[in-house]
Structure 1
């Protein structure tokens, strides 16, 4: 990461923090995933902690992950998201997920893993090296945030923070097909998707929950942080 990227990225995340504050949201960050899990269990009871970030299953620390939460003026949790770093080395992400996609399930569902499957797209086949997984993204359905562009900017905040902290080769995540079709990936800042990447079958159902893989490379991330966050917010609110 260049000095210019570091300076630009710092400006980018500061601008988003200011905009979150303007909407009454205070951002907290950390790498203590036991604390994060306690926040989830106490405040986000409808959506359990995602398996990739469970500190009982993984060694989660400042070198391997971080979380972001947002609180309103009443001390209510209104936002979550998290990042986890993987060092794939020369292994393609498509090969890694071909064996380990079950480690990234949607939360709160009783799944038939035998019928569920992963279909690698061209993007996953090109991803290797230091790759970050982006998940846990949630913003409370509040009139204060609807139509403002803030939820998408908070996702970009996490992407930019990941760039500043780790300068990864790639960032990837998964998104339900129905949200991808509504343009959510673009609003979050993602410049590429692999459609049809995942099909999760709930037990007793013949209809799968389909998912896209979202991803960005180093050059994409550098371009993203060069854009003005406030202009993006205004365009979403128009």
Structure 2
């Protein structure tokens, strides 16, 4: 963990994590954090969507405990209710936008030659450098929505990332309709760019209207302090 970079804020972050866990468990859910991405893929296959993002697939990446983790939530019957994952990249030698040019092509264009990746990605992405966490593959079962669990689960993933890695940035790519409805703000993102990755011809399963949504380290610490002071939600 990189808690030494956070100083006095560590206790506030761990307090916030505990409060989020209490909220989630009070809904009758069992939580598990893991770095076993074979188990992650098995868990994904047991969900309604069965959607495994390329970013967290062993087909494209070697995911291990030093650089990635996932969190699952199960009901009392042992059925999956939620999954999410996060991984960190060391991008001190290039920007996030430059990183996308290589990584998005590897994941989407090479396997799907009819797809065409542009270069006009989110403006902010070309200024984001350092230790950068990608948070994604977030899924919540339909009958568990509308209860504040999406917010609590996502914030839990954010703050576990903060405790593990103390990143410079944590980001996601969010469908424009969700970003415009304020979902990104509710779950803890504090900065928004109305374009994420730029697609000229996107693969069939990729939305071309995503937003880059992100927070820096101070935003995440402020989120933790707010939860610690006021409680989840």
Classify the TM-score, shorter chain. Answer: 0.7 to 0.9
Alpha carbons of 1:103 and 1:25: their partners in 2 closer, same or farther (altered >3 Å)? farther
Question: Counterpart in 2 of 1:46?
Answer: 49
Check the 8 A contact 2:122/2:197 in 1, yes or no: no
Question: Counterpart in 1 of 2:146?
Answer: 147
Q: CA offsets, 1:36-55, max 9 Å, x none?
A: 111112x1252321111112
> Helix, strand or coil for the counterpart of 1:198?
coil
> Displacement, 1:228?
2.0
Check the 8 A contact 1:119/1:197 in 2, yes or no: no
Which consecutive unaligned segments of at least 5 residues does structure 2 have?
none
Deviation above 4 Å: which 4+ runs of structure 1? 199-205, 229-234
Q: Distance in 2 between matches of 1:92 and 1:173?
A: 15
Q: Establish whether residue 228 from structure 1 lines up as the match of residue 227 from structure 2.
A: yes
Superposition TM-score, scaled by structure 1 size: 0.85
Aligned-pair RMSD on alpha carbons? 2.5
Alpha carbons of 1:202 and 1:218: their partners in 2 closer, same or farther (altered >3 Å)? closer
Q: CA offsets, 1:19-58, max 9 Å, x none?
A: 00111111111001011111112x1252321111112321
Which consecutive unaligned segments of at least 5 residues does structure 1 have?
none
Superposition TM-score, scaled by structure 2 size: 0.87
Question: Counterpart in 2 of 1:182?
Answer: 181
Q: Distance in 2 between matches of 1:180 and 1:129?
A: 25
Q: CA offsets, 1:60-82, max 9 Å, x none?
A: 11001000000011111010000
The count of aligned residue pairs is 225
Correspondence for 2:34 among 21, 30, 33: 30
Q: Distance in 2 between matches of 1:78 and 1:63?
A: 26
Alpha carbons of 1:131 and 1:219: their partners in 2 closer, same or farther (altered >3 Å)? same
Alpha carbons of 1:3 and 1:230: their partners in 2 closer, same or farther (altered >3 Å)? closer
Q: Distance in 2 between matches of 1:204 and 1:121?
A: 21
Check the 8 A contact 1:15/1:230 in 2, yes or no: no
Q: Distance in 2 between matches of 1:161 and 1:67?
A: 10
Q: Distance in 1 between matches of 2:180 and 2:122?
A: 17
Correspondence for 1:79 among 82, 86, 94: 82
Check the 8 A contact 1:9/1:160 in 2, yes or no: yes
Q: Distance in 1 between matches of 2:87 and 2:203?
A: 28
Q: Distance in 1 between matches of 2:146 and 2:122?
A: 32
> Displacement, 1:59?
1.4
> Displacement, 1:212?
0.3
Question: Counterpart in 2 of 1:113?
Answer: 115
Alpha carbons of 1:26 and 1:204: their partners in 2 closer, same or farther (altered >3 Å)? closer
